[in-house]
Amino acid sequence: MHVLFVYGTLKRGFKNHRHIADQRFVCEARTAPGYRLYNLGDYPGLVVEATDTLGVTGELWEVDADSLARLDEFEGVAEGLYRRVRVELDGSSHQDHADTYLYARGPGQNRIGPTWLETIS
């Protein structure tokens, strides 16, 4: 099993949650400072931002290897849209690190707060 930090449309109640709904929710979590969300239109992108002091909120999930491979495809890892990397967590979830998807292209200027708030309407 792999521990995965999700912060956008894969979270519970969001439009792409179906991709991990059959996996095990662990808890809500936050990254350590140094990461920031950017609004990319219909979804957010997590990027490393050294000046960030808040981190990013999200959820931890235990996912199996088959689900992780499907998520890599969904997130466009092979196309260079996202990279799956290990990020440091703030410790409140009793986990030090988790895998997540970092946006691999220039995020532009649409920086947002630490939480992706758009839900299914």
Considering the domain boundaries, does residue 71 fall inside one?
Answer: yes
49 inside domain: yes
Decide: helix, strand or coil at residue 13: coil
Q: Is residue 48 part of a domain?
A: yes
Is the CB of residue 25 less than 8 Å from the CB of residue 48?
no
pLDDT for residue 119 is more than 60: no
Alpha-carbon gap, residue 115 to 3, rounded angstroms: 20
115 belongs to a structural domain? no
pLDDT of residue 121: 33
- Model's pTM, two decimal places? 0.91
**pLDDT band at residue 115 using 50, 70 and 90 as cut-offs:** confident
For residue 69, tell me if it sits in a domain: yes
CATH number of the domain to which 51 belongs = 3.10.490.10
Q: How many domains does the chain have?
A: 1
- The residue-averaged pLDDT of 47-67 equals 95
Residue-number span of the structural domain to which 80 is assigned = 2-103
User: What's the mean pLDDT when you consider all of the chain?
Assistant: 91
In a domain, 66, yes or no: yes
Reported confidence tier of residue 109, pLDDT bands at 50, 70, 90: confident
13 belongs to a structural domain: yes
- Judge whether 70 lies within some domain: yes
Angstrom distance (rounded) from CA 86 to CA 97: 6
Using 50, 70 and 90 to split pLDDT, how confident is the model at 118?
low
